[in-house]
A and B are shown apart, each in its own frame.
Chain A
């Protein structure tokens, strides 16, 4: 046991520390990427919804105007 511990160098510990730090970094990147893509998609849907509602309202107004003239 002690023999095994004696074989661990400072470099090994540094490498392990860096790996653990990178783990948290990449986990955060992964989660951020997931939520960011989802948020962009939802925002695109919201903007499309607004555009469609505007378009329907303007077309209905135009039709009413045209039928009133006719």
Chain B
């Protein structure tokens, strides 16, 4: 039943993305940027999905430290890994967009730099997990590290408000606006990406459970 719900959400998200891709392709060009602005319909939702992964990881890590339930550790690693994939896409699409509009692939402004640090921190989280063998110690270290890594997330989010950056102000809370039909496509894409993130996290969470089963089977094999 749980599988059916997960795959149902996944299929619905994929259908919304496919429909949106077709609809967005047909939208008129923006007056200053031409057609390349359409990357925003994917760039921002990818960051939203990545941010959702980071928040989930933070909550799961805090709850793990309180309850010491390994299911929460599994949720933290699953959401971090999926979130990192979305952050990678966010960085890549942003860089490609910047190359056309700013004329550069990358600049060390506050938003881009803090976003890269965020990516490195969460990649470090996954590397840390590989480095520690003992499961309880690994889970505790990883939970503490995840809480530390999250400090960068609000810095990424507010950097464009706190400092002058090459990266523009956000459309919706920076004084800009979208025509209503663009907003509709944008919000649908946002919902679909987050739903896709939830599905991938659920699948990855199940894999962590399978890994724990393997560990216990190995222990049994050694005991026999």
Contacts and interface: CB of A to CB of B under 8 A. Distances in A.
A, B from the same assembly = yes
Interface of A: 19-20, 22-24, 26-27, 29-31, 33-34, 37-38, 41-42, 45, 48-49, 52-53, 55-56, 59-60, 62-63, 66-67, 70
B24 to A, nearest CB: 10
B127 interface: no
B99 interface: yes
Interface in B101-124: none
A24 B207 CA distance: 39
A34 B89 contact: yes
29 contacts: A20-B34, A20-B35, A23-B34, A24-B35, A24-B36, A26-B36, A26-B100, A27-B35, A27-B39, A30-B36, A30-B42, A30-B92, A30-B93, A30-B97, A31-B21, A31-B39, A31-B42, A33-B89, A33-B92, A34-B42, A34-B89, A37-B92, A38-B89, A45-B200, A49-B203, A56-B217, A59-B217, A63-B217, A63-B224
A63 B209 CA distance: 19
Given A24-B36, A30-B93, A66-B224, 19 more contacts: A19-B34, A23-B29, A27-B35, A27-B36, A27-B39, A30-B92, A31-B42, A33-B96, A34-B42, A37-B92, A38-B89, A41-B82, A41-B85, A45-B204, A45-B207, A52-B210, A56-B217, A59-B217, A60-B217
B137 interface: no
Nearest to B97: A30
A18 B197 CA distance: 37
Interface of B is mostly: helix
Given A45-B204, A49-B203, A66-B221, A26 B97 contact: yes
B103 to A, nearest CB: 11
B89 A59 contact: no
Contacts of B34: 19-20, 23
A27 B217 CA distance: 49
Interface string B21-39: 1000000010001111011
At the interface, is chain A mostly helix, strand, loop or mixed? helix
A62 B218 CA distance: 10
A59 B221 contact: yes
